[in-house]
Amino acid sequence: MARIIKRYSNRKLYDTREKHYITLENIEILIKQEEEVHIIDNDSGDDITASTLSQIIAEQARKNKAYAPSIFVDMIRKGGDTMYDYARKVWQILSDQANSQYTESKEMGDKLVLSDADWEALLRSLLSRWDLPTQADMQRLTTAVTRLEQSLQELEKKVRD
């Protein structure tokens, strides 16, 4: 349910849910928290949400110097379509960048597809760098241990006899 903010003739804003006065900065925070906000002129009952939000945007622009004055001049000259045009351009740029990143990632992923022989060669290369014993080394070790056990058993037998 939308939060109703009333604007009185003295320009003060009143949050009807929380039952206290609220600033434009607080409204900005609510919107960033994804709250749905409707701002109503208390005297006329008119919805003044758009004009109040434009005040917030203008204040952000003033504080952050985020927007070139030409954007606002275009908005005044062309009307409401200007913001739509800018939004569409930004969306197109972001969409193009996302598609480019996807294509690049897919190409990199396709390059990583290796045959079984390639994986085996890669694995052997990695194992050789780690200086781990090979299967042949383990077989030689097993054979040596078996011979030692046999020799030990023979020695024990000689000692007993």
Taking CA 84 as the corner, what is the angle to CA 91 and CA 69, rounded to the nearest 5 degrees? 100
List the chain domain ranges.
Answer: 3-67, 68-133
Q: Please, what's the b/e burial string for 37-52 (b: 16 or more CB within 10 A of its CB; e: otherwise)? A: bebbeeeeeeebbeeb
pLDDT classification of 44: cutoffs 50, 70, 90: very high
Q: What is the pLDDT of residues 8-34, one digit of tens each?
A: 999 999 999 999 999 999 999 999 999
Q: What is the pLDDT of residues 81-123, one digit of tens each?
A: 666 676 667 667 767 776 777 777 777 767 766 677 877 887 7
Kindly report the pTM of this predicted structure: 0.47
Q: In terms of DSSP bridges, do strands 20-22 and 37-41 run parallel, antiparallel, or are they unpaired? A: unpaired
Asked if 128 contacts 135 with a C-beta cutoff of 8 angstroms, the reply is no
| Tokens encoding 130 | 């780690």
Percent of the chain with pLDDT over 70: 76
pLDDT classification of 133: cutoffs 50, 70, 90: low
Mean pLDDT of the chain: 80
What confidence score (pLDDT) does residue 92 get? 74
